[in-house]
Structure 1
Amino acid sequence: MSVHYGPGTHISIPDAMLRLPFIALANLYLLLVSLLGAPFRMMAASHRPAYVRFRLTGDPPYRERRRRRLQLGGSRPEPSDVTSVERLRESLELLAKDGRVKGILLEVEDLAVPAAKRDALVAVLRAFRAQGKRVVGWAVHVDNEGYALLCSADEVLLPPMGRVELVGYAAESTALGVGLSRVGIRPQFIRRGDYKTAPELFTRPVVSDIQTRTVESFLDERYADLLDVVARGRRKTPEEVRALIDQGPFSARRAVDAGLADALVSEANLPAYLGLAKPGDGEEETELEPMETYLSTIPFPPVRWKRLRRNPRVAVVPVSGIIIPGKGASGKMATSETVVKALRAAGRDKRSKAVVVYISSPGGTPLASEQMLEAVQRVARKKPVIAYMDRVCASAGYMVAVGAKEIWSAPHAMVGSIGVFAGKFDMSGLMEKLGVHKTVLVRGQNAAMLSFSRGFTPQEEATLEAEVEEMYQAFLDIVAKGRGRTKEEIHQLAEGRVYSGVRGKAVGLVDQVAGFEEACRHALSLAKVPAAERFEIMTYGAPKQRVNLLKLLMGASHAQTYALCPTALSLNGLGGTEAFEDAARFGVADVVGRVFPDDQWPFGG
């Protein structure tokens, strides 16, 4: 805060001084609560657990989500659930200092994290083990990614009924051209870029060589990473791991025999295995306690004191899902109004000195992405903005990213797919087979351009080709300006080509390959914020609910087709994530449909 007394007079009153009374009262309250609870915690100290149980499931965020408003509803996590990478790190740092704690039991269930977040979790576990503590991994059923994380433990345990789905990676590409023609549907698409293969789903009789090579390049990277992680964790050679993968999947007993697991231990016998109880010793079953129970046995557990000088803060704006115009928010759709409002709020937040736009999107409409791009650019004129991706940032998603000052990516994230296409389905053949007759009446030569009742006229097709070319040139121009390159240079990298984060950096579409925490710290450094060990995150516009892509597709029977990066949708779920499952449900891993108003062109970013 500053006060002005006429020209040339400026007296600064630090905000911290104004906060001092409130900080003192808050800390006094925390102190009283801590002191009052200390006697009870002292009495419980003799029951302090030697092993603490953590359950890692789903896709926990990098940081605890702190929001301005209290949000009611929703299911509470289990006491042992890992709620964020940050909270796990803080918990293990505390446990590492306690000589009475021997280690942790890490239970893995339905893990759905990207490789970059898995690496962040592995780094936390590695630091804990470096302090002489033991990490015991246990799971009933794990896939490639879950098992790769378990490999960072000292021991891997499975129950007798357990399974290890260590089988490598597979991706399916579909070609519906012949099938659609047999039922009288004629796809009509115009694309810009040989590598923009999404329309091929509908137009080709077989999958193209370009699509096959693109998918194989990502399969090779993911597979090589899996070989390396398992080889290092289980002390085997990559060749040995490759041979084991070709023998998978494994029952629990076969996994132990193959050296992929160390022992068969049921959940009930875990305490006895860890030396916490003897089998048959008493009727009451010994439980492995969560972190909450451990904290109740420490006389003076850590207190989050209110600081006079607050930690630096980074605003995080997620762009998660297919980019579309309109309102609302969900885990599978990123709507323009929601993201733009979130970016504006992040720009107004005076405490947040930098912004990280977290993009996890296979693409969407140019209209919505350009709205988001403009909002990113406006914020970037006020404070540093970093775009970060650890899964996929393709097509229209990449268009949003180029508005940031720098683009950071995880090694195996998918970036690029700079290209566009547009088109429709001519349903006249199907309607004729069904005995359905339609008469199309127009006033204006292009008024029925997007009608499903007939194909394009020569003029309509020429108009659409011109629009696609114009959109592609605009896309190139946006990327060229954002990356400081010429349009010709970007064109050589574009036409729908998809890159991993590592390859994207090599060709100049990515500035740095690193993790989320590193991206946030770098954003603060660009804001000239002194390096701090801890910083806060404020998330704006986080998803609130999920939608079913199958229902969306089935409701789009009168839609103009809406383009995405096909490789992103088909590969984003490798390792068992929901994106691949959703695509598999309707057999289409390339494109989804959506109803658009007649005045919106159906161009794919």
Structure 2
Amino acid sequence: MRLLFVGLANLLLGVWTLLGLPFRLLASRNRPTYVRFRLSGELPYRQPRKARRFFSGSKPEPATVTSLVAFGESLKLLAQDPHVKGILLEIEGLELGSAKKDAVVKLLTDFRAAGKRVVGWAVSVDNLGYQILCAADEVLLAPAGRLELVGYAAEATAIGEGLARVGIQAHFVRRGDYKTAPELFTHAHVSDIQRQTIEGFLDERYADLIDSIARGRKRTPEEVRAIIDVGPYSAQRALAAGLVDGLCSEADLPARLDERRREEKDSDDAEEPIEPMASWLGARPFPPMKWRPVKRRPKLGLVVISGIIAPGKGSSGELGPKIAGSEAVVKALRAASRDKRAKAVVLYIDSPGGSALASELILEAVQRVARKKPVIAYVDQVCASGGYMAALGAKEIWSAPHAIVGSIGVFAGKFEASGLMDRLGIRRTLISRGENAGIFSTSRGFTPHERAALEAEVEETYQAFLAHVAKARGKTKEEIHTRAEGRVYSGTRALAAGLVDRAGSFEEVCRHALDLAKVPPGKFDVGLYATPDRGLSLLQILLSLSGAHLYALCPSAWSLMGGKAGRRFEG
């Protein structure tokens, strides 16, 4: 039956293509020499297939890049056309992690190696966007634009003294000096360990920024440091400093790129915008055909763990923080396991951890899938604490160089509001039966007996965490302990410490997972087993986390990324 439908679809596609041939021949006389692409927002690796929705709101601009894979395929086609001179790359409001930035830079580098030009243009661009522009042959800025090149900064916070002033005391038990998460609430000042952790990441990101600018603008590292130290830049200052090659309004871009249009500057033709990829495809006499394959392509399963891990169904983060609910993630993993078409699974993790119990439930689900088919965990931003625990169930863990990995540790505690209640004239009397019955009461701190019990539970959970890591990484608990106690690593340092297996890109991970499943090289489909999106109030989030009491969470790792890598870090 599939053979019949595929044959009919390909026949209709061929007829449609032949019918449009005369129109494409006419259009080919004026096919563009430069093709326009627009990078904006969060760029996915691959565009997920979604059902068509009518009246679903505004569509993105025609030139907007929808995924890294689609961008790469377009550049390969353009590189084969001798009529095409290059592309115009516009950057607007780009929010990418370091790994995706590196992927874009590689695509541009390969395109230039094929003899084509890349012209970058922006109105306002930050550190990350400028790193991408530095991979272009020519960098242009709008006359009223700005270059926010200032390096990286972090603001570590300690609110212990502030809480005490309003009558709230934080009581936490942690395992390891490097598990600094509770310090936000317990310390009056940022600790030296937290400062050193943040400085290590800033040093790596700053070095990467300097290297990108030095290579792209042909400057020495010392010159780049001096340039960054006097930023940010107006468009005029950026041009004077040699950071851009020219100032050009959007309306003047066609004339600047095209000699013919420059000569016809006063004509109406000079006002025509630079066409997007769709126009170039429509002007080819014989465009690339997307024939329906007789045999279905191999399928790779993709399961995403994004946000704070907590019990329950989770939320998409549209109305608050992203929550990776253990119930929803486990269901997605089960679906991936049952799907016979999915020969392998990539577990994409972007999480600072959360509930220790929920993280372990996800770990067990990953291990069950891994017993049936290859599972590779991949992190390009954050895979810390409980997030790293979940990754341990995979056959291999891959990481991007500047990702945040590790924070193997556990903490638990509560907030005591007795001082605040006294100031408000509120009197509470705790009446209990059982030595530890009031252990999580907010009306008083821990008794020595309660603290001893909590410390024992934290230690037990920490030892279990070490055992999981030791078994997955093929090391002893003692060896893992020297890398644990809350220590946080970049992807590069995690690889050297043996906490990840390989460094690579998302596409490399996908191909490797299929290789492990003995799937022949070639194109493949990615099936996303999505967790349900539902809004959660802040109260629901706090209640879902408060029920666990034991946390494998690394807030400092999450805030280092800030959701907008390449911009500002807040620790």
What TM-score bracket applies, with the shorter chain setting the length? over 0.9
Matches of residues 117-516 of structure 1 in structure 2 within 5 Å? Answer: 117-275=100-258, 276-277=261-262, 278-282=264-268, 285-331=271-317, 332-516=322-506
Residue equivalent to 2:71: 88
Aligned counterpart in structure 1 of residue 59 of structure 2, from 76, 101, 106: 76
For 2:364 and 2:427, how far apart are their aligned partners in 1?
45
The answer to whether the Cα contact below 8 Å between 2:302 and 2:345 also exists between their aligned partners in 1 is: yes
TM-score by length of 2: 0.93
For 1:326 and 1:559, how far apart are their aligned partners in 2?
12
For 2:126 and 2:535, how far apart are their aligned partners in 1?
24
Note the C-alpha offset of 1:428. 0.2
For 1:448 and 1:110, how far apart are their aligned partners in 2?
50
**1:513–1:303 Cα change, 3 Å:** same
**1:37–1:548 Cα change, 3 Å:** farther
| Secondary structure of 2:20 counterpart | helix
Q: Which amino acid aligns with 1:535?
A: F
| Secondary structure of 2:63 counterpart | coil
The answer to whether the Cα contact below 8 Å between 2:329 and 2:531 also exists between their aligned partners in 1 is: no
For 1:334 and 1:575, how far apart are their aligned partners in 2?
19
The answer to whether the Cα contact below 8 Å between 2:356 and 2:550 also exists between their aligned partners in 1 is: no
For 2:360 and 2:540, how far apart are their aligned partners in 1?
27
- Structure 1: gaps (5+ residues): 1-17, 590-605
Note the C-alpha offset of 1:358. 0.5
The answer to whether the Cα contact below 8 Å between 2:158 and 2:188 also exists between their aligned partners in 1 is: yes
**1:563–1:505 Cα change, 3 Å:** closer
The answer to whether the Cα contact below 8 Å between 2:303 and 2:530 also exists between their aligned partners in 1 is: yes
The answer to whether the Cα contact below 8 Å between 1:424 and 1:561 also exists between their aligned partners in 2 is: no
The answer to whether the Cα contact below 8 Å between 2:351 and 2:384 also exists between their aligned partners in 1 is: yes
For 1:402 and 1:563, how far apart are their aligned partners in 2?
14
| Secondary structure of 2:305 counterpart | strand
The answer to whether the Cα contact below 8 Å between 2:134 and 2:216 also exists between their aligned partners in 1 is: yes
Note the C-alpha offset of 1:283. 8.7
Q: Which amino acid aligns with 1:539?
A: L
Query: Which has the larger displacement, 439-448 or 136-145?
Result: 439-448
For 1:194 and 1:80, how far apart are their aligned partners in 2?
50
**1:293–1:548 Cα change, 3 Å:** farther
For 2:544 and 2:419, how far apart are their aligned partners in 1?
21
The answer to whether the Cα contact below 8 Å between 2:41 and 2:94 also exists between their aligned partners in 1 is: yes
For 1:513 and 1:421, how far apart are their aligned partners in 2?
30
- Matching of residue 113 in structure 1 with residue 81 in structure 2: no
| Secondary structure of 2:143 counterpart | coil
For 1:216 and 1:530, how far apart are their aligned partners in 2?
44
Note the C-alpha offset of 1:174. 0.7
| Secondary structure of 2:387 counterpart | helix
Residue equivalent to 1:45: 28
Note the C-alpha offset of 1:310. 3.2
Note the C-alpha offset of 1:55. 0.5
Q: Which amino acid aligns with 1:173?
A: A
- Matching of residue 540 in structure 1 with residue 526 in structure 2: no
Query: Which has the larger displacement, 228-237 or 448-457?
Result: 448-457
Note the C-alpha offset of 1:521. 1.1
| Secondary structure of 2:144 counterpart | coil
Note the C-alpha offset of 1:328. 4.1
Residue equivalent to 1:8: none
Query: Which has the larger displacement, 104-113 or 289-298?
Result: 289-298
Note the C-alpha offset of 1:234. 0.8
Aligned counterpart in structure 2 of residue 518 of structure 1, from 508, 531, 543: 508
Q: Which amino acid aligns with 2:348?
A: Y
The answer to whether the Cα contact below 8 Å between 2:328 and 2:531 also exists between their aligned partners in 1 is: no
The answer to whether the Cα contact below 8 Å between 1:173 and 1:570 also exists between their aligned partners in 2 is: no
Give a deviation string over 1:472-526, Cα, whole Å, max 9, x none: 1111111111112111111111000001111111111010011111111111111
TM-score by length of 1: 0.88
| Secondary structure of 2:553 counterpart | coil
- Structure 2: gaps (5+ residues): none
For 1:225 and 1:541, how far apart are their aligned partners in 2?
33
The count of aligned residue pairs is 563
**1:561–1:395 Cα change, 3 Å:** closer
Q: Which amino acid aligns with 1:361?
A: S
The answer to whether the Cα contact below 8 Å between 1:372 and 1:400 also exists between their aligned partners in 2 is: yes
